[in-house]
Structure 1
Amino acid sequence: MEIKRDRYLNKLISFMWDGQVKVITGIRRCGKSYLLRNLFCTYLLGEGVPADHILSFELDLTRDIRYRNPLELANRVREIVENQREQFYLFVDEIQMSDEVPNPYNPDGKKITFYDALNDLKSLSNLDIYVTRSNSRMLSSDRRYRLH
Structure 2
Amino acid sequence: MALKVELKPHERIIVGNSVITNTDQRARLLIDGENVPILRERDILTPETADTPAKLVYLAVQLMYISPDPQTQHGTYFNLVREIMTAVPSSWPIIEGINNHIMSGDLYRALKEARKLIAYEEKLREQYEATHPKGDVSSAA
Length-normalised TM-score, structure 2: 0.28
> Whose radius of gyration is greater, 1 or 2?
2
User: Which has more helix, going by share of residues?
Assistant: 2
Length-normalised TM-score, structure 1: 0.27
Q: Which has the higher contact order (CA 8 A, sep 6+)?
A: 1
